[in-house]
Amino acid sequence: MRYNITGEPMPVVICDVEANESMITEKGSMVWMSPNMEMQTSAGGLGKAFGRMFSGESMFQNVYTARGGPGMIAFASSFPGSIRAVDIDPQHPIVVQKSGFLASESGVDLSIFFQKKAAAGFFGGEGFILQKLSGHGTAFLEIDGSAVEYTLQPGQQIVVDTGNLAMLDATCTVDVKSVKGIKNVLFGGEGLFNTVVTGPGRVVLQTMPISNFAMSIASIMPSN
């Protein structure tokens, strides 16, 4: 599979696939394709289907396969930002925000990822369940706004505002840290908690979470 990502701030990834090669998406994000791309919708097993539902995705997967020769298929982002390609292998699974998965090669498996610490799940900004991508192949992720990547050493930490965490290696851990000081909490505009990511591993942050964008728009809308 070869791909080209273009068109920011409303990006699309255009994938050129070989005969009988398949691509998977769970959002109905296909925007155009060659006529020989055959679509099949599958739940992929009841357990996996419910796992995807709880992680913020559809219960069903759309599998597109090139029949009779090479094919082409394109997947578009649903929000202004960027699309990031990530290579996954059995030794390097990743964890992504809910609804961050756009599409992937058929060898990539999407499952639920439970936060080990309940506090991180309830107050960390991305809910108790995230998405885990494992297996083997290239996956494409939706990033709200622009992506900024850091590589954390063992024990090294970064403090992230709620919702700005887009992706991290499964080797990282996630916790929460309360904002200190009553005045900071009441008037600082940063909420009660921040997310703390501890290495080792990569962390990808996003500059404009869709939730923040929605609140910014709501604040200037007429009340009536």
Q: Which of 45-54, 56-65, 69-78 has the highest mean pLDDT?
A: 69-78
Query: 18: pLDDT confidence band, cut at 50, 70 and 90?
Result: very high
CB contact at 8 A, 199 and 156: yes
CB-based contacts of 33, cutoff 8 Å, min separation 6 = 64, 71, 72, 73, 74
Q: Is the pLDDT of residue 9 over 70?
A: yes
203 in the Ramachandran plot: left (φ > 0), alpha (ψ -120 to 50) or beta?
beta
How many Å apart are CA 218 and CA 214, to the nearest integer?
A: 6
- Give the residue-averaged pLDDT of 72-92: 93
Q: Is the pLDDT of residue 105 over 70?
A: yes
Burial class (CB in 10 A: 0-12, 13-18, 19+), 156: middle
pTM of the model: 0.81
Percent of the chain with pLDDT over 70: 72
Query: 48: pLDDT confidence band, cut at 50, 70 and 90?
Result: low
Query: 6: pLDDT confidence band, cut at 50, 70 and 90?
Result: very high
